[in-house]
Structure 1
Amino acid sequence: MSHTQSRAGKWLYTGAVAALLASSSLYAQKKIPAFEMSSLDKQYTPCQDFDNYANGGWKKNNPIPGTESRWGAFNVLDKENKEVRLKGIINDISQKTNLVQGTEEQQIADFYKSYLDVNTIEQRGLSPLNPFLAQIKSIQSLDDWWKACANLSRIGISSVFGVGVEADSRNSVINALYGGQDGLSLGEKSYYERTDESTQKVRAEFVQHVNKMFAMADWKAANIGQSILDFETKLAKLQLTNVQLRDPVATYNKVSIAEMDALAPQLDWNSYLDISGFKTDSIILQNKPYLTEVAKLVAGTDLDLLKNYLRWQVLTRFAGVLPGKFDKEDFHFFSTVMRGTKQQKNRVERAIRATDGSLGMPLGKLFVKQYFPESSKQKVSEMIENVRTVYGERIDKLTWMSEETKKEAHKKLAAFTYKIGYPDKWKDYSSIKISPDKLLENIVNTAMYRHGEAIKKLGQPVDKSEWMMTPQTVNAYYNPLNNEVVFPAGILQPPFFNANADDAINYGGIIAVIGHEFTHGFDDQGSQFDAEGNLRNWWTESDRKNFEALAKKYIDYFSSIEVLPGFKINGALTIGENIADLGGLTLAYHALEKSLEGKPAPKLIDGFTWQQRFFLGWAQVWHANITDAALRNQIQTDPHSPARSRINGPLPHLVEFQEAWGCKAGDKMVLPASERVVIW
């Protein structure tokens, strides 16, 4: 689940959860079992290894397809949404004739057509890149290079510095400009620093990859792969770690443009901002020392290398939509070497996903018309309000928090807002020019549209109705700057929500997801934002220390989990998601328990109590297989723990799990009371 920041209801039901979306055409097509008994592997016991007990059978029966690097509940549902439902929508549109230029149907149909037109892509070669390559070729000074960086940023091409627009963390009603580190091809600085054999192999493969891409482009540059790696390694040494980037206070450094000039006089910041289109007198920097040091780095780097670095950024950015040899080599390195994916999806499936990637909201409008009725919003609202009630009760029972801080926590909880399914209003995309025979230009034009939207936002009031995910996305998020939780229609399907399932399974699924997103408002990052979404300390000093001590204990717990030889979970990187999982499980369980008050206990289903089925519901949400390469990549770059650890990790901290399955002291899924962590 995403935690974004670019960065008192009544208990209305036991059976109401199962009524959600029951009338939807999405569910009318087929009934999906609440929990497949074939998913179990009884060679394991729940108290020794709950993941393999609950999911071992599923894992054996669902090997990773060759086109994937991981395969689990998210991937299966995402494939259904994109390669079945969106495919049907796109195919229907593509069969229409005389579509009007600028309409969403014309844009979708022509983008899709341009991706499938392989012959034209091959014939055009690298010529669509000529406008960008010509500017790079004309560079004769560091100032020219910096202007080229600014120009390329408008279409999403990285250089050593990146900018973006979102709400000012200390004044969350106004949009501000943010700036920070960028430009690493491997994505995270640990790839340039680790000395283990597998990471060294990735770097060696990267050198060969760059060499091959330049050779295929017929660009002459001696030892270019090693030169790019060496430059990016120097760049990586200047950057903050992904753990350091989690600190919203340390990474909030608002400076004037004049101060930027003083911090990095080698670079013309007024020119950069003017070319990129951002009119502002201030910017919020992640890290002021980085600005100073990166300016020194580029000023001391050979200009030919800087030009080749930009050529590389252009080539790698668009490789997937260039002639087949570039596409194939790009897939080989970034998908096979880095993530263990054996083969590409077929061209049609990739065309659907590319269309979704560029025109996701127009597609989303059509998706929800067919698959998410308006009536569903009310049912999800009821769920959310029930979780809010339980969260308030949990706050009142905390022993480590004072009444003063509890009062502020309640204030923040009461101010939570939420969005369900899809936006209440849709943006106008008619200005985007999409042609049936110019794929790369289509991608550039959609990127320019997004950049233009950012320019229009800067300095303006925040539009709190805006969505950061498309409706068909299989995910959810909490936005601390809006103090809101958001649940796209795409995730409100099995196994997260199943209209045919018993409440225990759904509480372990969608209710735990809702609780997870609520808890992000009170994790290591979200807890630093107040009810209005401003970065402000609302804690007493002693309460903050108590929270940080609990978080540190949970960090150390996850940091001890080794997922592959030499690769342990980074507890500090994953702490936000781990706290949210623990909180989501806790809230969902007690919400289910509360819904049953005064009612007869539910009957056994397949021999399991409702308590046991709750945890089976949690386990099936996260069942997954993953390649070793993808697992190594996740450990280094992803703030989420691997799926197996999201299942087994929090459960030993829950006495409810121990009681549900009759676990005893000494079992692997049981921790002594002194080692358990209870935060919310």
Structure 2
Amino acid sequence: MIVNRPLVVAITFCLGLSGLAASTDAEAQRRRAARAPAVPPACTDFYATSNADWLSANPVPATGAVSALGQLVGNANTQQKALLDAAALQPANNVQKLLGDFWASGLDEAAVEADGSNPIAPLLTRINALGRNRDLPATIAALHQVGIPVAFNFGADVDLKALDRHLGYFMQGGTGLPDPAFYTRNDADIQTVRSRYRDYIKQILALTGTPAGRLEAEANAVLAMETALATPSQALAQINNPFNNYAPVPVAGLDRQYRNLRLGDFLKAQGVTAEQVSLAEPAVFAALDGLVKNRPVADWKAYLRWRVGDAMAPYLSRTYREAEFEFRGRLLRGQTIAPARWEHVLEAVNLAAGPMLGREYTATHLTSADRRQAGLIIDKLRDAQIAALVRNPNLSESAKSEARAKLEAMKIEIGAPQRDLDYSVQPMGRGSFGGNMLIASTWRHREEMKRIGQANADRRWDVLPQQPALAYDIAQNRLIATAAVLQPPVFDPAASTAAKFGSFGALVGHELTRAIDNKGALIDARGELRSWWTPADQTAWNLLAERLGNQLSGLAYPGVRDAKVHPANVRESAMADLSGLSLAWQTWQGIEPEADKSQAQAFFTAWARLWPQAVSPNEAIARQAAEVQLPGPVRVNASVANLPAFAQAFGCSAGQPMQLPDTEQVQFWP
């Protein structure tokens, strides 16, 4: 029997025609491709072309990420290790003797084990001796003095209404979880973290003297105390806005407003004599004032012992360290293995005595020739930025005038802070690593407190000289280049001038432009908080920013399937990248106008070689959601695609992946 199946035949026939057509189209495409000139690899994916060797040598890790700038940080750490090793064996001066002893005490694991809880024993004894709630404020103040903030945070920072001065800031704190939401939300993931946190609290309480039969009750008391502190507190995102933390109040009225906390006595204990401080969260401190009066003193003793044990756990015996790492390292930070012992001790030295190490690092690793060369490059870039202001069609004349004044007034500090601080610290010796941490952190806290009320804010850096960093300090109108950043791939003394401007120069340009962009325009050349852009200036900037954001929104996020770049997260950094690279190109062209194409290529290649990275899938997903910097491949390619000079250097045509059509290119400082 013959079965009539017209629909099957029709479908088969259509599929056959479709396949024939596809075959014919493919053949035509191959013939066209054979006739068309090949697209240079640099015009297809400049990032991959420039970093082929690095990417081959650095495969994607199972967890975390590897990057060229991360390797620079690793190299700076290795340099610090070598310096400290030498200081421990044969110190050349008293500072090296102190650092060498500190370092040796941390590396002596047997001594650390034998020391056990001894470093914090005096603190625990004081806490255990508390008999009345009225004695709590003095104990809280004493713990702050040794660098262990309990109940709240208090520190020195810039006075937003007088940027040359430091103000004391009372802020929420005294809790161990990263955000107040961890105490108040009840979704499954948060509850899991809280449960693990509770277990960690019990471990620390047991190590600091709580009997087994009391662990449950005291852990519950600690969590209840921290929840009471967290409930009226701001979310982490709000805290990160400095204006949310700025509310100057007279010191004279604090004891009347918070009778149980006795904040006036607290300030005297810290050596602070200023007439005003900032306290922006009265609800938090009102709640805390009530806790000091009404919470049983036994609950406070458990809480304070827990906070001391948690703060000092990384510097005590193995049981403390392992408990802390399991919760904070493995669970919160996603680390699979603990850092090597030397890395752990180096982090501790930098935390407690970083400026001391910074002075020695700069003397060892920064030559006067490199400092001078870096300074010349920065000066050339600043001059070029001032010239770019003159021809910029998007800024009003008043804004150009203020921007010029601000750039001319900008301070340049290379290597280490220009004016040295008092680095004297008590002798630490080699006997007790935990004890040394307390000695050093007490010294650092005292030095910080001395700055409150003083017009010496320009002495302070927010980074250490031994940490690779190029940064614009908006409060002090200051460009900082640390000693550690002046090495490859950022700054290679042996590289060509073109390469130096493509790497170091582009990064300096990134920071220079931040002085006069929409954020920089909030502080004028005299250091006063005021917006000096006109509404038309802001509108013109916003239009350019929107155009760049539209470019970025269509770009795939590398390493995350079907994901795109979030322009809202990364746009500001991308604007500074493009501005800085363009400024560096203009500056270098003015210095070497007759340079050949190979040098132009070296300029852009140096830029690309700042950003190679190998990122694990989980890390890529986390970065895609929250990172404020573009991922390396996009950071390289999105910038060069907007620069006609790149197309000329590599022979790219408009419409090829690495060169946007002229009408789509964005220039902030043409």
Q: What TM-score comes out, normalization by structure 1 length?
A: 0.79
Task: Tell me what 1:418 maps to.
Answer: 412
CA distance, structure 2, for counterparts of residue 328 and residue 669 of structure 1: 52
Task: Tell me what 2:6 maps to.
Answer: none
> CA offsets per residue over residues 400-455 of structure 1, 9 Å max, x none?
32111111111111111101123445444334221211111211111111122123
CA distance, structure 2, for counterparts of residue 50 and residue 199 of structure 1: 42
Task: Tell me what 2:154 maps to.
Answer: 163
Aligned ranges 1:429-578 → 2 under 5 Å: 429-462=423-456, 464-547=458-541, 577-578=573-574
Q: Is the CA contact (8 Å cut-off) linking 2:644 and 2:659 kept in structure 1?
A: no
> CA offsets per residue over residues 617-637 of structure 1, 9 Å max, x none?
223212233456666776788
Q: Relative to 1, partners in 2 of residues 1:90 and 1:314: Cα closer, same or farther, differing over 3 Å? A: same
CA distance, structure 2, for counterparts of residue 431 and residue 343 of structure 1: 33
Q: Is the CA contact (8 Å cut-off) linking 2:229 and 2:287 kept in structure 1?
A: no
For structure 2, which runs of at least 5 residues remain unmatched after alignment? 1-37
Structure 1 residue 139, shift from structure 2 partner = 4.3
Bigger CA drift: 273-282 or 195-204?
195-204
Task: Tell me what 2:69 maps to.
Answer: 74
Task: Tell me what 2:33 maps to.
Answer: none
CA distance, structure 2, for counterparts of residue 273 and residue 232 of structure 1: 23
Q: Which has the higher contact order (CA 8 A, sep 6+)?
A: 1
Structure 1 residue 322, shift from structure 2 partner = 0.8
Structure 1 residue 577, shift from structure 2 partner = 4.1
3-state SS, counterpart of residue 537 of structure 1: coil
Q: Which of these residues, 394, 401, 412, is aligned with residue 400 of structure 1?
A: 394
CA distance, structure 1, for counterparts of residue 323 and residue 531 of structure 2: 49
Q: Is the CA contact (8 Å cut-off) linking 1:112 and 1:355 kept in structure 2?
A: yes
Tell me, yes or no, if structure 1 residue 177 matches structure 2 residue 173: no
Q: Is the CA contact (8 Å cut-off) linking 2:353 and 2:444 kept in structure 1?
A: no
Bigger CA drift: 322-331 or 167-176?
167-176
> CA offsets per residue over residues 245-289 of structure 1, 9 Å max, x none?
555545432222355567756632212222232222211345555
Q: Which of these residues, 594, 604, 622, is aligned with residue 590 of structure 2?
A: 594
3-state SS, counterpart of residue 123 of structure 2: helix
Structure 1 residue 381, shift from structure 2 partner = 1.6
Q: Relative to 1, partners in 2 of residues 1:191 and 1:405: Cα closer, same or farther, differing over 3 Å? A: farther
Q: Is the CA contact (8 Å cut-off) linking 1:505 and 1:613 kept in structure 2?
A: yes
CA distance, structure 2, for counterparts of residue 244 and residue 524 of structure 1: 20
Q: Which of these residues, 604, 607, 618, is aligned with residue 618 of structure 1?
A: 607
Q: Is the CA contact (8 Å cut-off) linking 2:68 and 2:611 kept in structure 1?
A: yes
Q: Relative to 1, partners in 2 of residues 1:643 and 1:313: Cα closer, same or farther, differing over 3 Å? A: farther
Task: Tell me what 2:274 maps to.
Answer: 280
Q: Is the CA contact (8 Å cut-off) linking 1:246 and 1:525 kept in structure 2?
A: no
Letter in 1 for 2:154: V
Task: Tell me what 2:81 maps to.
Answer: 87
Q: Relative to 1, partners in 2 of residues 1:565 and 1:380: Cα closer, same or farther, differing over 3 Å? A: same
Aligned ranges 1:624-643 → 2 under 5 Å: 624-627=613-616, 640=629, 643=632
Aligned ranges 1:357-396 → 2 under 5 Å: 357-396=351-390
- The structure whose residues are more often helix, as a share, is 2
Letter in 1 for 2:369: S
Q: Is the CA contact (8 Å cut-off) linking 2:182 and 2:190 kept in structure 1?
A: yes
Q: Relative to 1, partners in 2 of residues 1:625 and 1:424: Cα closer, same or farther, differing over 3 Å? A: same
CA distance, structure 2, for counterparts of residue 671 and residue 216 of structure 1: 66
Structure 1 residue 496, shift from structure 2 partner = 0.4
Task: Tell me what 1:152 maps to.
Answer: 143
Q: Is the CA contact (8 Å cut-off) linking 1:339 and 1:629 kept in structure 2?
A: no
Q: Relative to 1, partners in 2 of residues 1:615 and 1:351: Cα closer, same or farther, differing over 3 Å? A: same
Task: Tell me what 1:355 maps to.
Answer: 349
Q: Relative to 1, partners in 2 of residues 1:514 and 1:146: Cα closer, same or farther, differing over 3 Å? A: same
Letter in 2 for 1:619: A
CA distance, structure 2, for counterparts of residue 170 and residue 239 of structure 1: 24
Q: Relative to 1, partners in 2 of residues 1:452 and 1:213: Cα closer, same or farther, differing over 3 Å? A: closer
Letter in 2 for 1:504: A
Name the Cα RMSD after superposition: 4.1
CA distance, structure 1, for counterparts of residue 239 and residue 525 of structure 2: 23
Q: Relative to 1, partners in 2 of residues 1:350 and 1:386: Cα closer, same or farther, differing over 3 Å? A: same
Bigger CA drift: 505-514 or 456-465?
456-465
Q: Is the CA contact (8 Å cut-off) linking 2:501 and 2:588 kept in structure 1?
A: yes
Aligned ranges 1:316-335 → 2 under 5 Å: 316-335=310-329
Q: Report the structure number with the largest CA radius of gyration.
A: 2
Percent sequence identity is 25
Bigger CA drift: 578-587 or 444-453?
578-587
CA distance, structure 2, for counterparts of residue 52 and residue 224 of structure 1: 56
Letter in 2 for 1:158: P
3-state SS, counterpart of residue 464 of structure 1: helix
Structure 1 residue 677, shift from structure 2 partner = 7.2
CA distance, structure 2, for counterparts of residue 627 and residue 555 of structure 1: 26
Structure 1 residue 500, shift from structure 2 partner = 3.0
CA distance, structure 1, for counterparts of residue 551 and residue 192 of structure 2: 30
Bigger CA drift: 447-456 or 368-377?
368-377
Q: Which of these residues, 103, 107, 127, is aligned with residue 112 of structure 1?
A: 103
Structure 1 residue 462, shift from structure 2 partner = 1.4
Q: Is the CA contact (8 Å cut-off) linking 2:208 and 2:306 kept in structure 1?
A: no
CA distance, structure 2, for counterparts of residue 227 and residue 570 of structure 1: 42
Task: Tell me what 2:668 maps to.
Answer: 678
For structure 1, which runs of at least 5 residues remain unmatched after alignment? 1-41, 605-609
3-state SS, counterpart of residue 367 of structure 2: coil
Task: Tell me what 1:26 maps to.
Answer: none
CA distance, structure 2, for counterparts of residue 556 and residue 145 of structure 1: 56
3-state SS, counterpart of residue 485 of structure 1: strand
Q: Relative to 1, partners in 2 of residues 1:212 and 1:153: Cα closer, same or farther, differing over 3 Å? A: same
**Aligned pair count?**
627
CA distance, structure 2, for counterparts of residue 286 and residue 631 of structure 1: 36
Structure 1 residue 540, shift from structure 2 partner = 2.6
Q: Is the CA contact (8 Å cut-off) linking 1:175 and 1:461 kept in structure 2?
A: yes
Q: Relative to 1, partners in 2 of residues 1:124 and 1:620: Cα closer, same or farther, differing over 3 Å? A: same
Q: Relative to 1, partners in 2 of residues 1:201 and 1:59: Cα closer, same or farther, differing over 3 Å? A: farther
> CA offsets per residue over residues 594-631 of structure 1, 9 Å max, x none?
3332x1x4243xxxxx4444333223212233456666
Bigger CA drift: 573-582 or 321-330?
573-582
Q: What TM-score comes out, normalization by structure 2 length?
A: 0.80
Aligned ranges 1:125-136 → 2 under 5 Å: 125-136=116-127
Structure 1 residue 556, shift from structure 2 partner = 8.3
Structure 1 residue 484, shift from structure 2 partner = 0.8
3-state SS, counterpart of residue 270 of structure 1: helix
CA distance, structure 2, for counterparts of residue 498 and residue 227 of structure 1: 56
CA distance, structure 1, for counterparts of residue 216 and residue 563 of structure 2: 35
Task: Tell me what 1:137 maps to.
Answer: 128
Task: Tell me what 1:4 maps to.
Answer: none
CA distance, structure 1, for counterparts of residue 48 and residue 182 of structure 2: 31
Letter in 1 for 2:585: Y
3-state SS, counterpart of residue 622 of structure 1: coil
> CA offsets per residue over residues 186-232 of structure 1, 9 Å max, x none?
43457668999877765554444334444455534317767766765
Q: Relative to 1, partners in 2 of residues 1:510 and 1:116: Cα closer, same or farther, differing over 3 Å? A: same
Letter in 1 for 2:356: P
Letter in 1 for 2:412: Y
CA distance, structure 2, for counterparts of residue 317 and residue 258 of structure 1: 31
CA distance, structure 2, for counterparts of residue 303 and residue 95 of structure 1: 48
> CA offsets per residue over residues 79-108 of structure 1, 9 Å max, x none?
22322x3333333332238x98xx212202
Bigger CA drift: 386-395 or 342-351?
342-351
